[in-house]
Amino acid sequence: MAELIEIKDVKKIYHVGAEDVHALDGITLTMKKNEYLAIMGPSGSGKSTLMNLIGCLDTPTSGSYRFNDREVRDLSDDELARIRNKEIGFVFQTFNLLPRADAAHNVELPLIYAGIPRADRRRKVEQALEAVGLAERARHRPSELSGGQRQRAAIARALVNEPSVILADEPTGNLDSKTGEEIMQVFEKIHGAGNTIILVTHEEYIARHSGRIIRLRDGLVESDVSV
Amino acid sequence: MQVSESLRIAVVNLRVHKVRSLLTILGTVIGVMSVIAIVSIIEGMNKYVSERLLEEGSNTFYVDKFGMITDYQEYLDALKRKDLTVDDARALERLSTSILVVGSLAQGRNNVRYGSREVSSVEVRGVDEGFQAASTVEVEHGRFLSREDVLRRRPVCVLGSDVRDKLFAGLDPLGKEVRVGRHRFSVIGVAEKKGSLLGVSQDSNVMVPLTAFQKAFGSRSAVTLIAKARDQESLQLAQDEARAILRARRKVPFSKPDDFSILSAETFMELYKNFTSTAYLVTVGIAALSLVVGGIVIMNIMIVSVTERTKEIGIRMAVGARRAEIMFQFLIESLILSGAGGVIGVLVGVGLAALISNVTPLPAAVKAWAVGTGLLVACGVGAFFGIYPAARAAKMDPIVALRYE
């Protein structure tokens, strides 16, 4: 079976003033379907950049990134948007929910851009909210939800289009440890349901929930250990 | 993405900023409103004036030595011209084949009194026996001035209905004696009411025999000829004949222009059209200006809105919105803004036109094309000035937008 993610000698260089910053300095890694991967590293190690590349929000300066057997560098803006929409679900540290829309509408957003008819959208939104245990709070706006509930809504949004991979960037960073643990339970549950998850974190106990830990340092893979 | 979603987003965002949205569309509202109001009034006046002029008799024309005077020098030059006379009127009748009848008219203003009642500044008309046939005066009560009255210089008069109402207030005026200035005239008839033209009453006058007029108020007063062509088709021919006959009688050299002028309903209409087309241009100019200013305001607010919602744009891009969809969303928003401005402008403009036609004598006719153009232009403004902010939103880097606080 083909790899879901195939990264070969990927470099990302930012031009900051006259200086070149090597955010990623030649990364190679592969990832299969239904893996649960954690990316760790100190700040400045390049983990956010790697996340953005994997999430097709950005493209590498050099090297090859194949996602589902397609070379991402060759894709147009619209094709990247389509991959983000159908293949990738983002979960952010700061939740990134639309403040003026209720939980259900936030979850519905990827379906709208996917052009799915209204009746199907409603059903899928219900299912996703059910899966994260937020069905009761569907009609509440983010400001009326607790931090944990907001993150559940965000996870439901990431799940709703049945993506190939869920990318979670410090999903517990803005939550107390008890709520964080609850959120990790949610991730474990959806991993159990067959989803592929990439988790970025700098907390050891959070990373332990995954099946494989990749440590980055200075834009390079320092270690790649299966737990 | 569905249009309904874009509309929903736009409406939600505009609702959140109600006051800001209202202020934003003010320029568009004013632009569209002034177009609708002014076009309605001008169109109403056009309709009204052309109807009234046609009613006045489309186969009559006027000849006098002044014509349409537009500046003081012209007036001074015209003053030096020879007066037209009743003899000219008779000559036109005799020599022209297409002129049916010619009336003569001399005008002045004077106070009219009956007993202790007085009407000031009444138009006093000295008319000859051809006047009634050439113009559209009808008598409602009594009789009109006859040939005999004119020949014998009888001190009799026909009152306009306004003057009758003010002096006699329900009494029968026939046979009574009124004083026009220092001169006494007995009332022999009352003219039929003609109503008002652009707020000026057509019934505030007294008609007396031309001969009596000249005896009382001076024989040197200029005479206007009112000629009636046989029918509408021969109107132009009748005017040409009148011109030839009068040039001959007044011995105007071949190389000189007419020293008199011929005015018909068409001449008035043309002059009027000239005036209103200028008014149209001025309106269009003002409206265009306020629409451009309104458009810039919309652009400015949309830029603010795009900046405020940078994070939202980032989120939408992260969940799969294409750049075109982001662009479309913001374009829809500026279109809704300007479209709302257009609709409000139309409503206020129509209301304003209705108000003006109610409280002033100006009539108003709301034109569908003006409403359509107003709305279309408003939306066009929104679309045009919305392009730049929307493009700015669509060009954002999703990573930078997501990080924006």
Task: List the CATH number of the domain containing A168.
Answer: 3.40.50.300
CB A73 within 8 A of CB A107: no
**Residue A86 pLDDT > 70:** yes
By CB atoms closer than 10 A (0-12, 13-18, 19+), residue B400 is exposed
| ipTM metric | 0.94
Distance between CA atoms of B382 and B398, rounded to whole angstroms? 26
**Residues of chain B neighbouring A156 (CB-CB closer than 8 A):** none
In a domain, A48, yes or no: yes
Contact flag A110-B320 (C-beta cutoff 8 Å): yes
The pLDDT value recorded for residue B268 is 77
Contact flag A112-B315 (C-beta cutoff 8 Å): no
The pLDDT value recorded for residue A1 is 52
- Is the minimum CB–CB distance between A82 and chain B shorter than 8 Å? yes
Task: Using alpha carbons, list the distances in angstroms from residue B110 to A127, A166, B57, B121, B200.
Answer: 94, 98, 27, 5, 17
Q: Which of B319, B327, B395 is the mutation pick for testing A, counting most A CBs within 10 A?
A: B319
The pLDDT value recorded for residue B2 is 66
Query: Of A82, A85, A98, which is closest to B315 when you measure between CB atoms?
Result: A98
Distance between CA atoms of A218 and A24, rounded to whole angstroms? 7
In a domain, A112, yes or no: yes
Confidence band, pLDDT 50/70/90 cuts, at residue B44: confident
Confidence band, pLDDT 50/70/90 cuts, at residue A2: low
**Residue B67 pLDDT > 60:** yes
Listed by number, the residues of chain A in 146-165 with a beta carbon closer than 8 Å to a beta carbon of chain B are 157, 161
Confidence band, pLDDT 50/70/90 cuts, at residue B47: confident
The pLDDT value recorded for residue B187 is 94
In a domain, A36, yes or no: yes
**Residues of chain B neighbouring A92 (CB-CB closer than 8 A):** 402
Query: Of A81, A157, A161, which is closest to B321 when you measure between CB atoms?
Result: A81
According to DSSP, the residues that pair with A37 across neighbouring strands are: A198, A212
Lowest mean pLDDT among B153-157, B290-294, B346-350: B290-294
Encode pLDDT of B169-186 as tens digits: 888 999 999 999 899 999
Query: Of A100, A113, A157, which is closest to B325 when you measure between CB atoms?
Result: A113
In a domain, A11, yes or no: no
Give residue for tokens 């955010």: A23
**Residue B314 pLDDT > 60:** yes
Question: Looking at the 3D structure of chain A, how many domains does it have?
Answer: 1
**Residues of chain A neighbouring B325 (CB-CB closer than 8 A):** 113
Q: Which amino acid is it at B389?
A: P
In a domain, A152, yes or no: yes
In a domain, A198, yes or no: yes
**What is the span of the domain harbouring residue A39?**
32-61+77-226
**Residue B57 pLDDT > 70:** no
**Residues of chain A neighbouring B396 (CB-CB closer than 8 A):** none
In a domain, A19, yes or no: no
Query: Of A96, A98, A114, which is closest to B320 when you measure between CB atoms?
Result: A114
Contact flag A90-B318 (C-beta cutoff 8 Å): yes
- CA of A227 to nearest chain B CA: how many angstroms apart? 30
The pLDDT value recorded for residue A141 is 95
Confidence band, pLDDT 50/70/90 cuts, at residue B56: low
- Is the minimum CB–CB distance between A95 and chain B shorter than 8 Å? no
Q: Return the ∠ at Cα A199 (arms to A194 and A204), rounded to 5°.
A: 120
Query: Of A58, A77, A113, which is closest to B319 when you measure between CB atoms?
Result: A113
- DSSP 3-state assignment of A91? strand
Q: Tell me which H or E stretch contains B106.
A: strand B99-114
Contact flag B320-A81 (C-beta cutoff 8 Å): yes
In a domain, A200, yes or no: yes
Tell me the mean pLDDT in the region A184-209.
91
